[in-house]
Each structure stands twice: as C-alpha cells, then as structure tokens.
C-alpha cells in the first residue's frame, strides 16, 4: 500500500502543476483586450496652428483650429473650428465647425457651416464664396468635393447646385445636379 501511495504522489504533483499552469494562463489571458481596440484619444491640443510647406520650402497652406483630438486606434483626428488658408494668388480660405482628418492628413472631411472664400483676383474684384454642409478636402492636391447642396456667390451673382468638384490650382469649379442661378455683369462706368 505504501508503494501505491508513493507512485500516486508524482501523479498528484503533475495534476497540481497542470492546474496551476491552467489558472496562470487564464489569469494572463484576461489582461489582454478582446475584440477591437477602444476608440479613446491619446492626446489633444487646444488653439493650434499647423503649417505645410512644399518641396521647395514655400508655405503651401496653414491649418488653425480651436481643438484637435487624436485617436491612436485608427490614427485619425477631430478638429474643432478648423480654418485652412492657402497662400497662393489669389489666396483662399476654408472653414467649418468640425473637421475629421484622415490617417495621413491627405483627406479632411469638413462638416457643418462649411465656407470656402476665394479672394478676388484684381483689386476691388468681389470674392467668390462657396457654402455647403459637408466638403471633403484634399489639401495637398488643393481639390475638394461634396454631394450636398451648394450655394456660390460672387458679388450679386448666385449659383445653386446639388454637389460640386473644386480645383483650387486651376480655379475651376464644376457644379452637379440641377444648377440654377442669377449672374450679374460687372458694369464699368464710362465718362
């Protein structure tokens, strides 16, 4: 009988060791998050300015905002009260209530009270103002697009459309959908 107890001791120790290993493994596994990573911010910045330069070192555009919140799980950011200024001639400005900046900053979705101002080419020329609810901007290419209703004004002229594509470098804007508007000529007085 003593021999039988002596032979069961190693087996009991082996079962105890296996149970301890199983318990430790469960304890360690519970520390790891299951499922997708949480969408929590890792940092935020208030009242900031970001300047982007071209390959020659010339200032291309500036982004100013009230607050930027960055999320590490998808490397995106939310900007409150964004204002983008392009420095070329004629200068342009883009603003909105909120901007969602994509992973690499090459795509920005502007939401609510979006306003684009392209200042007049000549002295005294009226600025062109574009207003819409959403606008997706590609800052490096200086292009933008939307599928929401758009109102474009220049002086007394007004155009309405249901979407647009804008190229700031060429100055060409293409309105989509049913386009309506009123165009006023610039009259010059002759003595």
pLDDT tens figures, 79-94 = 999 998 888 777 888 8
Residues 67 and 118 in one domain: yes
Question: Which neighbouring-strand residues pair with 85?
Answer: 62, 93
Q: Which of 169, 102, 112, 158 is nearest to 135 (CA)?
A: 112
Q: How many structural domains does the chain have?
A: 2
Residues 131 and 78 in one domain: yes
DSSP annotation of 25: H
pLDDT value of position 1 = 53
What band does 6 get if pLDDT is binned at 50, 70 and 90? low
pLDDT value of position 26 = 74
DSSP annotation of 89: S
Query: Could you tell me if residue 117 is inside a domain?
Result: yes
- Please, where are the H alpha helices in the chain? 2-29
pTM for the full model? 0.70
Residues 96 and 164 in one domain: yes
pLDDT value of position 31 = 56
Residues 102 and 176 in one domain: yes
Which domain does 12 fall in, by range?
Answer: 1-32
pLDDT value of position 99 = 92
CATH number at residue 138: 2.60.450.10
């Amino acid at each position: 009988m003593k021999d039988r107890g002596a032979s069961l001791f190693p087996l009991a120790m082996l079962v105890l060791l296996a149970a301890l290993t199983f318990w430790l493994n469960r304890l360690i596994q519970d520390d790891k998050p299951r499922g997708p990573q949480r969408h929590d911010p890792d940092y935020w910045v208030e009242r900031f300015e970001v300047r982007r330069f071209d390959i020659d070192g010339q200032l291309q555009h500036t982004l100013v905002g009230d607050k930027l919140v960055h999320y590490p799980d998808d490397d995106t950011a939310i900007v409150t009260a964004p204002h983008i200024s392009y420095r070329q001639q004629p200068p342009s400005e883009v603003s909105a209530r909120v901007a969602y900046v994509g992973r690499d900053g090459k795509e920005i979705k502007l939401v609510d009270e979006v306003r684009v101002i392209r200042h007049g080419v000549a002295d005294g020329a009226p600025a062109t103002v574009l207003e819409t609810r959403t606008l997706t901007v590609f800052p490096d290419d200086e292009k933008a697009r939307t599928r929401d209703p758009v109102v474009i004004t220049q002086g007394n002229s007004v155009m309405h459309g249901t979407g647009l594509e804008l190229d700031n470098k060429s100055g060409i804007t293409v309105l989509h959908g049913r386009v309506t508007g009123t165009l006023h000529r610039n009259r010059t007085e002759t003595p």
